[in-house]
Structures are given as C-alpha cells and as structure tokens.
C-alpha cells in the first residue's frame, strides 16, 4: 500500500497517512463529515466578523507571532513532510524553515496591500475582507503551498478553512494546531478528506477558493464555484519547456536540466518537463545530462545520501511509468534509467528523441525524467515550447538571442540562464491553463480582498 487509505467504522471514517517509501501508516485523522463541515463553515463565518474588524496591523502582527511559534516544531514538521510524502530530510528541512520565515515575511509584506488609499477628490479605495476563504492544497510542498495562500487570506481579514491533500494530512494538522495557539479561535480551521470533502467545502457557504493543484481539479472547482461566483485563485499544473540555444554554456544548461527535472523526484509544478536543444550542441549536452543524472541517488528519505525520494503514491508512479513507456513505444531513446521502474521509486531517467505525439511531451509527467529533443531551427523550438495548454514556467539557456526567445515564450514565469520564480514578494503566476489569478506581490495579495470605492 503506497497511498493514503480510508477506514470506515459505524461512527466515522478515518484517513490513514502512508509513508510512500515503505507503506507504513504514519498516523491518521478523522475525515470531516457533512455535519462537521457545516459546523466548521459556521464557526468560520462567526469568527471572521470580529477578526475582520481588528486593525490591519494587529492582524499582521498576530499572524507573525503565530508563525514565530513554529520555531520549536521545525524538526517535527520537517520529519512529517518526509514521512508523509517521501521528500529527503534536507529538502523537508528547507520547507519547514521556509514556512516559519516565509509566513512571517508574508504576514508583514502582504499587510502593505490592504491599507486604504486616498484617491483624488474625496474618494478612497478600501480592501475589505471577502469572508471565508477555502484554501485547498496539494501534497508536493504540503506546507509551502498552503502557507502562500493562508497568510494573505488571513491578513486581509478573512477566516480560512484549510483542506490539505489527503496524502499529507498530519503535517497540515500540526501546522494549524501550532498557529492556533496564537490565533483567535475559529479564524483558521482544517477539514480533512479527499476530493469529495474539497468539493463539499467549495459548494458550502464560503466566499473564496484559493487552490493549488492539478488542472482537472481546478476546472472542477471553477464549475462548483460558478453558481455563486465565488472568488478564485488557481495555481495549477505545468509542462515547463527549456530551450538550449547553440551558444549556451552546455555544462550549466545540463546541470540545470537535471536538477530542475529531478527536484522533489520531479514532483514540482515548475520542474523542467521537456528540453529542446540545438542540434549543434546536442551530442555534448545529452552526454553531460547523462553524466550528471548518473550521480543522483534514489531511495528512502531515511538515507542521508538520497536526493530522489519515492513517488508519492502508486497512482503517480503508474502515470510516470506509462509516460516513459509510451515515449519508448513511439520511438524515443532511453539514454539512462529503467524502462519499467518498480514501486515506489523511479530511477533517474534520461530520454531523447521525444516528439509531440508522446505523453511525455504533451502532458505533465511529474517524475524524475529529463525528456529531450533536438532542434534545427529556433523557430521550431519556440513553437514546440508554446504548443501546450499549460504556461506556468519556461526557461531558455543561451547568450546572443536568449532574451529575444524569452520574449516569445508563453508562460507566467520565465528564466534566462536560471530557473523561474523571482525572490522577495514576487507574483507566483501561471499563463494559459496553468493559472487563474495568482498570489504574491501587492496585486496578488489584493485578490484576497474585496476592492471597495467610497466617495465621502
Ligand atoms: P490534485 O488536484 O489532485 O489535488 C489537490 C487538492 O484538491 C487536494 O487537496 C485534493 O483533495 C483536492 N480536490 C480534489 N478534487 C477536488 C474537487 N473536486 N473539489 C475540491 N477539491 C478537490 O493535485 P495534487 O496531485 O495534490 O498536486 C499535484 C498538482 O498540483 C500538479 O498538477 C502540480 O503541477 C500542481 N501544483 C501547482 C502549483 C502551482 O503553484 N501552480 C504548485 C504545486 C502543485
């Protein structure tokens, strides 16, 4: 068993969280049933009334205090991340400490977005709370992804109901319980379960859904939210391309291609999913990629040498294997790795000669695979990079024409000779079907508020 499982008794349903590296039960939570969800939603609405009335600076500083209190629990949070989703301890440690520091930073920064502004004449813009925000999060960065949405939602004066992924309920529970030692009761609550609990929450009496997860779930949520026109922020999947131009630093490009494709066992929304390399340097580039990939070690998070953990569950594993096999059946070449990896790991994999008919090129694979094809004309590379319903990130390596190529890539975040995602309080934003709304930056924070214009 490498997937969260559900147990039913007469009174309640229990969700077991499973360590994907060995199938052990890490712990369990009670699934939020219909009546419990109703009570949570009512409590959230009530708590929001007084929370939203508190001065902005008071909300911001209380949230900062709440995050500071995570310090003593950093190790427990980190361990739970590793145990529930398989991430190695170094990466889990970064995420836990990033949650503490990022939460405090975001609580201070986002407050700047919600201060009222005077307009010319006797008008004023206010940024009022929307009410209750449902934050629905994925398992791949179980704390970071929840945090990015919880903090601005709370600072804006909303109450929040977090529905964490069914794969990582325990770490979310610990986060919420520690924050609640400081926050007023009912302002931040948690609801547990799978997609059906998420759906019930979206359809309940809430005002906004801030979601991070797959495109298909994003579409389902938009449909469920449509009747009441609930406000939405959707951070969805990606199929990020990388273009390597003929004057690129081949070693640096190869290093990036491998690191970005393998990060978090490839389970990162902005991981490099497909690489288009100029045929003039392709031989050298592919060789460098294989050399670097061969230095990666796959295994359990308990092994300190490991930098590629297990896939989170059997479903994700089967998907990645099917993409590898589909590519090989359609004529791709396996340069490194196994053509039928066994559960729960996927060995570092390098595939060349991919083409647009293959799932590995036209879908999000979400596994530790570098998938490469060569191009003869830059125009073709740009067309293939843009030939996707997704548009989260895109990367180009090269010198002379790199900026011109970047200018033509269809993505919300673009890196030139580096990865995507700017530092500080920058927007995290997808183009096309990778996003609808976004978080980060003044404009991103303001999506958690009702803009109101008052003429005095
Ligand atoms: P998922 O869409 O399967 O699940 C995400 C969350 O949605 C879970 O909590 C799940 O229980 C809930 N859910 C499922 N169906 C629902 C419904 N009908 N209504 C409401 N909630 C529902 O995604 P996942 O497998 O957990 O995460 C991986 C995906 O997330 C990948 O596609 C990845 O690219 C994407 N992701 C995007 C970003 C970003 O910033 N753009 C960041 C991280 C992950």
One of 167, 269, 286, 363 is an active-site residue; which one? 269
For 29-40, what is the mean pLDDT?
Answer: 98
Asked if the model's pLDDT at residue 377 lies above 60, the reply is: yes
Distance 211 CA to ligand 1 centre (A): 7
Nearest to 154 by CA among 216, 76, 67, 232: 67
* Residue identifier of the C-alpha nearest atom 35 of ligand 1: 213
* Residue identifier of the C-alpha nearest atom 26 of ligand 1: 138
* Residue identifier of the C-alpha nearest atom 40 of ligand 1: 235
Residue 14 CB–ligand 1 contact under 6 Å = no
Distance 195 CA to ligand 1 centre (A): 9
How far apart are the C-alpha atoms of 238 and 163, rounded to whole Å? 22
Round to the nearest angstrom and report the end-to-end CA distance of the chain.
Answer: 63
**Domains defined for the chain, CATH in brackets:** 5-236+434-455 (3.40.605.10), 240-423 (3.40.309.10)
CA angle, residues 381, 384, 387, in degrees to nearest 5: 150
Distance 146 CA to ligand 1 centre (A): 11
Least confident of 8-12, 52-56, 198-202, 318-322: 8-12
Confidence of residue 428 (pLDDT cuts 50, 70, 90): very high
Nearest to 401 by CA among 267, 278, 237: 278
Strands (E) located in 119-217: 123-129, 132-136, 159-163, 188-190, 208-212
381-397 pLDDT, tens digit per residue, is 999 999 999 999 999 99
Residue 440 CB–ligand 1 contact under 6 Å = no
235 is a catalytic site residue: yes
How far apart are the C-alpha atoms of 210 and 303, rounded to whole Å? 35
How far apart are the C-alpha atoms of 386 and 240, rounded to whole Å? 10
Q: What is the pLDDT of residue 4?
A: 75
Confidence of residue 8 (pLDDT cuts 50, 70, 90): confident
Report the nearest atom of ligand 1 relative to the CA of 235: 41
Nearest to 44 by CA among 151, 161, 122, 154: 161
Q: What is the pLDDT of residue 28?
A: 98
Residue at token pair 């070690």: 297
Distance 52 CA to ligand 1 centre (A): 28
Distance 217 CA to ligand 1 centre (A): 6
How far apart are the C-alpha atoms of 16 and 82, rounded to whole Å? 16
Distance 137 CA to ligand 1 centre (A): 6
196 is a catalytic site residue: no
- How many Cβ atoms from other residues are within 10 Å of residue 61's Cβ? 14
Please list the alpha-helical segments (H only) found in 54-138.
56-68, 74-85, 89-111
236-275 pLDDT, tens digit per residue, is 999 999 999 999 999 999 999 999 999 999 999 999 999 9
* Residue identifier of the C-alpha nearest atom 22 of ligand 1: 195
Residue 261 CB–ligand 1 contact under 6 Å = no
Residue 237 CB–ligand 1 contact under 6 Å = yes
196-225 pLDDT, tens digit per residue, is 999 999 999 999 999 999 999 999 999 999
Confidence of residue 11 (pLDDT cuts 50, 70, 90): confident
Mutate to test the pocket of ligand 1, among 4, 211, 213 (most ligand atoms within 8 A of CB): 213
One of 166, 235, 286, 361 is an active-site residue; which one? 235
Residue at token pair 């970005």: 260
Contact 112, 433 (CB under 8 A): no
> H or E element: which one contains 25?
strand 25-30
Asked if the model's pLDDT at residue 1 lies above 60, the reply is: no
Q: What is the pLDDT of residue 10?
A: 59
Residue 199 CB–ligand 1 contact under 6 Å = yes
Contact 289, 372 (CB under 8 A): yes
Nearest to 391 by CA among 253, 269, 256, 216: 269
Distance 103 CA to ligand 1 centre (A): 21
Strands 132-136 and 123-129: unpaired
Residue 93 CB–ligand 1 contact under 6 Å = no
């Amino acid at each position: 068993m490498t997937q969260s499982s559900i147990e039913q008794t007469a009174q309640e349903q229990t969700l077991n969280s499973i360590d994907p590296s060995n199938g052990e039960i890490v712990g369990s939570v009670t699934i939020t049933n219909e009546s419990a969800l109703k009570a949570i939603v009512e409590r959230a609405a009530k708590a929001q009334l007084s929370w939203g009335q508190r001065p902005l600076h008071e909300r911001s500083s209380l949230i900062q205090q709440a995050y500071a209190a995570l310090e003593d629990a950093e190790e427990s949070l980190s361990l739970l991340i590793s145990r529930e989703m398989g991430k190695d301890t170094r990466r889990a440690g970064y995420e836990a400490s990033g949650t503490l520091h990022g939460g405090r930073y975001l609580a201070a920064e986002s407050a700047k977005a919600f201060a009222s502004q005077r307009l010319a004449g006797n008008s004023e813009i206010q940024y009022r709370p929307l009410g209750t925000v449902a934050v629905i999060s994925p398992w791949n960065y179980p704390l970071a992804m929840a945090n990015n949405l919880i903090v601005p939602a709370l600072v804006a004066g909303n109450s929040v109901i977090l529905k964490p992924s069914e794969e990582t309920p325990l770490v979310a529970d610990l986060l919420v319980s520690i924050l609640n030692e400081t926050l007023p009761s009912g302002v931040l609550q948690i609801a547990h379960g799978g997609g059906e609990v998420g759906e019930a929450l979206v359809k309940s009496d809430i005002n906004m859904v801030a979601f991070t997860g797959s495109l298909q779930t994003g579409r389902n949520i938009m449909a469920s939210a449509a009747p009441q026109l609930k406000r939405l922020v959707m951070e969805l999947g990606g199929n990020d391309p990388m273009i390597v131009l003929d004057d690129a630093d081949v070693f640096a490009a190869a290093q990036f291609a491998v690191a970005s494709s393998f990060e978090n066992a490839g389970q990162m929304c902005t991981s490099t999913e497909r690489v288009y390399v100029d045929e003039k340097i392709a031989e050298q580039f592919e060789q460098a990629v294989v050399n670097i990939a061969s230095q990666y070690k796959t295994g359990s998070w308990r092994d300190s040498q490991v930098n590629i953990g297990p896939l989170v569950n059997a479903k994700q594993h089967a998907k990645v294997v099917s993409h590898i096999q589909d590519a090989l059946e359609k004529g791709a070449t396996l340069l490194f790795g196994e053509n039928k990896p066994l559960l729960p790991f996927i060995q570092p994999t390098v595939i060349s000669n991919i083409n647009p008919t293959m799932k590995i090129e036209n879908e999000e694979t979400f596994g530790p695979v570098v998938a490469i094809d060569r191009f003869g004309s830059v125009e073709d590379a740009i067309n293939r990079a843009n030939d996707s319903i997704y548009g989260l990130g895109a990367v180009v390596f090269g010198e002379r024409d790199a900026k011109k190529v970047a200018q033509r890539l269809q993505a919300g975040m673009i890196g030139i000779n580096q990865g995507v995602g700017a530092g500080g309080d920058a927007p995290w934003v997808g183009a096309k079907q990778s996003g609808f709304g976004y978080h980060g930056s003044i404009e991103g924070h303001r999506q958690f508020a009702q803009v109101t214009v008052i003429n005095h």
